[in-house]
Amino acid sequence: MTAALERLGGYVAAAVPEAVIRHSVVKGELVLDVRREAIESVCRFLRDDPECLFKLFVDLCGVDWPQRTPERFDVVYNLLSLKHNRRIRLKLTASETTPVPSVTGVWSAAGWWERETWDLFGVMFDGNPDLRRILTDYGFEGHPFRKDFPLTGYVEVRYDEEQKRVVYEPVKLKQEFRSFDFLSPWEGMDRVLPGDEKAS
């Protein structure tokens, strides 16, 4: 199987040499690193070429590498060829300010995945006809899947029964009610927890 994927990777790299940076087989899947500006033409080739026929757009996601500058994000596309029973993964790099060309002209289903990646990571998609928030609230600030986004967020959302509406407030943590011992439950405890005194 690996040899067949290597051959396919070489075939695609030879067919669109200006677009494919490198190809490799990782854990039984073909991975193509693609130039950002050529993603739409590569996707169109993979969909239409008789040797490829990746007609099914599975998903698209983002990956954040905050230590990598200036292009801290990877955008990853997963495609499936039902005809040839193969999967392929396309990867490209992006920054916070450089938009990625949309592939909604190749697969219309990509629009929702691009919206999700923009909403959660802040990666812009040029040409997406409906690039707006999809999982967070419209007034949400920031992009929660970025590694520099605080775990608690910035704003707390709750329904106020007195005001009969949703209320946004700054996050307030009640640390005095928390007691962390930072011990692993799998390594055992050196003290007896309440209720366990009869176990011995």
Give the C-alpha separation, 187 to 126, whole Å: 50
Q: Residue 42: pLDDT above 70?
A: yes
Average confidence (pLDDT) over 136-160: 85
Give the C-alpha separation, 17 to 38, whole Å: 11
Average confidence (pLDDT) over 165-170: 88
Q: Residue 112: pLDDT above 90?
A: yes
Give the C-alpha separation, 195 to 178, whole Å: 20
Give the predicted TM-score (pTM) of the model.
0.79
